[in-house]
Structure 1
């Protein structure tokens, strides 16, 4: 399938806008695949933070800003994913309390089996948001859009091309 330069430029502009909205803004909705991408990126930042030396200077210069950035990106992603489901972003408060309790519990508990269990329990909000189906219609948080970073404009344009004329 040949695409014109105008179509490629339109796709690039849309992709740039989507990436900016994906990382920076809390408004709108995101698809499950985009949410998964965000979770992987946050996990990557977490792995980078594990490599940072434990001296306070390194933590002050690198680790704390990285943690704040990954926390904000995760907050944006979870808020948008909740909106895609049709729920308010305020539903994150119980989820973060749940996750925070799990983190505190893993620091207090000595038994490794219980620690692993608590880590598994902490993943429940992430897994729910990953697999819960979206509202496939416009809702009060934004219009339903078939475009996703993983789907790409090719899938989006293919579906548009298959629609009968006049729609």
Structure 2
């Protein structure tokens, strides 16, 4: 059972580690809010302001999720920045941005983070997520 504070910690902090399940749940929450935000008509400056008022916090939450998942794998959370920039700015062979290429790269990137197993031992980012944690203390390699 996931406690509510564990979910909010996963969404709003880039510290520590999260497992695959928490990552997928967080990604689902971000996707649901993004889809709902996409229903807002971008009419005039108020629509644009509302668009960015929703999307920027979602981007922050997405970076927090990716950073913690990368920590669980044993990598720096800063890898989320260039990886996301490459995924979002993927040009097509014709030199223009293509939605299909971007979606495919998103699926590959987030899919890899969702299935890549985390380290089962204590690493420099902390103890393993609670599902893998030992009841007798941190494990050593």
**Structure 1 residue runs of 4 or more that deviate by more than 6 Å after TM superposition:** none
Structure 2 residue 42 is the aligned partner of structure 1 residue 54: yes
Q: 1:54 to 1:115 in 2, by over 3 A?
A: closer
| Cα offsets for 1:80-134 (capped at 9, x unmatched) | 00000000112123302211222x65x925xxxx642442123221111111000
Unaligned runs of 5+ in 2: 137-141
- Is residue 98–residue 122 contact of structure 1 (8 Å, CA) maintained in 2? no
TM-score (norm 1): 0.69
Residue number among 4, 13, 37 corresponding to 2:25 in the alignment: 37
TM-score (norm 2): 0.80
The corresponding residue for 1:98 is: 86
The count of corresponding residues between Structure 1 and Structure 2 is 133
- Is residue 7–residue 22 contact of structure 2 (8 Å, CA) maintained in 1? no
Residue number among 136, 139, 145 corresponding to 2:123 in the alignment: 139
Q: Tell me the distance in 1 between the aligned counterparts of 2:99 and 2:81.
A: 23
- Is residue 85–residue 134 contact of structure 1 (8 Å, CA) maintained in 2? yes
The corresponding residue for 1:8 is: none
Q: CA deviation at 1:16?
A: 3.6
RMSD, aligned CA:
2.7
Unaligned runs of 5+ in 1: 1-10, 149-155
Q: CA deviation at 1:20?
A: 2.9
Q: Tell me the distance in 1 between the aligned counterparts of 2:96 and 2:72.
A: 36
The corresponding residue for 1:152 is: none
